[in-house]
Amino acid sequence: MDGGFETLEIRQPQQGSDGVGEARANEFAQVRVGGKIDGYQVVGALAEGGMGAVFRVRDRETTDELALKAPLPGGRGGSYTHRLRRFLREARLTGRMDHEGVARVRSEGHCDGLPYFTVDLVDGIPLSERIYDEGVLPVLESVRLIEHCARAAHHIHEKGVVHRDLKPANILVRPDGTPVIIDFGLARDATGIDPRITQSGIWLGTPAYICPEQATGEASRVDGRADVYSLGAVLYECLTGLPPHGVGRTKTIFKALREKDARPPSALRPEVPAELDRICLKALARDKDARYATAMELADDLQDLLIELERSALENTMVSDQVELGCQSDDGVARGWNDKVLLPTEQDEVPTVVVTTPRAEAPLALRSEGPALVPVTAEAQPTTARSGRRSSGSNRAKSGARPKAAGRCRTSKRELADLAARYLAFGGPTVAAVLGLLLLL
């Protein structure tokens, strides 16, 4: 790759041709999987558009994989000369970028009449595929994605470039969730270095995402606020699953751009907060002077909202984990559902409960074993089997010590009632049968 793009001679089209001339047949390197372009081995095809194609290639020096873009001789978008000029401009404008949110150019050159440039291969999927597969994205993720994109767009504008084609298909999302802006094929050099390629009265871009002034033929004069509108349209689709004015015929979309404002995202998705409605609709203002003046202002507003949403999400998580109450425990204390209450069998050391009675001056030490309190020492007070059975467990010990005599009285009455119930249950039928025989006799 000894020469740059400046050394490439653009062959003039022949009369009666489509603008490509004889170059279609013999002036371009054959691009095949497994073949090579100027030493770069072609691994596979990544994408193809109206003006060029992108291939996955292996670097000739480091064997790293890159993305190589080259124009298509038989592509769309005017004559080949026109498309080649636009391609060379794309390579130059993309080469200005130095931001983690924008694909970086690694090299440029030409091979057998085929110009090309290589960029870092982004390990990610188009945002358009995410929306297609999932319908809508979570609110937090949507805000985070567009906030990163807005900062990358601000970097693009600082380099004197207007992208003019920001849309979900031109935003790749890495596995860690960070977005990368690609494809500067329709970008405008706002510094005025390039001669104007786009004619007045011609609209460029994708109708569902371009601003009103770009749709009315002012594409050659738009500034960074056009990209702000496009970012607002992408945010709108992330939240609702549809662009601001829907999809369909270009004429219908352009009419909506001229005559009406977009509905708030919350009208289609009620969970969208009011502040996000405000941010999105400000970016989508039909009057460019009513939009954010810069993409950085949009990013800052989204960042402030993101902080608030993350704080609210954290508070809600803490409430659900720690403040949710279950029913009251036996001791009358309300406990959270995750407050651990050890059972006697789970305790490392079995607690000792001291019960004092009026008859004994010395305390009676009892150890809890399962559902009963079993005497440990009997020197201070004699213990009977009945008193051992009568102790019902930790609940009685927790409620406070009671006089032993009163406990025996209550237990005796309960036992008498149990005995009476048993006699009635088992003896009742027998007594009834005997009385029946006596009546018969």
Please give the positions annotated as active site: 165
Cβ–Cβ < 8 Å for 291, 283 = yes
DSSP, collapsed to helix, strand or coil, labels residue 97 as: coil
As a whole number of angstroms, the distance between CA 5 and CA 384 comes to: 107
Q: Which two tokens stand for residue 372?
A: 């009963």
The partner residues of 285 in beta bridges, in order of sequence, read none
Cβ–Cβ < 8 Å for 127, 168 = yes
The residues, any chain, with a CB within 8 Å of residue 17's CB and separated by 6 or more, are: none
Rounded to a whole number of angstroms, the distance between the first and last alpha carbons of the chain is: 129
Q: Which residue has the tokens 């050659």?
A: 220
Closest by CA position to 343, among listed 323, 368, 365: 368
Q: Secondary structure of 367-431 in the HEC alphabet?
A: EEECCEEEECCCCCCCCCHHHHHHCCCHHHHHCCCCCHHHHHHHHHHHHHHHHHHHHHHHHHHHH
Cβ–Cβ < 8 Å for 69, 41 = no
Print burial letters for 108-120: b (CB count within 10 Å at least 16), e (below 16).
Answer: bbbbeebbbbbbb
For residue 289, the Cα-to-chain-centroid distance in whole angstroms is 32
As a whole number of angstroms, the distance between CA 321 and CA 315 comes to: 10
As a whole number of angstroms, the distance between CA 219 and CA 240 comes to: 27
Q: How many CA atoms lie within 13 A of 435 on its CB side?
A: 6
For 14, 373, 382, 391, the CA distances from 403, given in Å and listed in that order, are: 118, 16, 14, 13
As a whole number of angstroms, the distance between CA 69 and CA 114 comes to: 10
Largest CA distance in the chain: 136
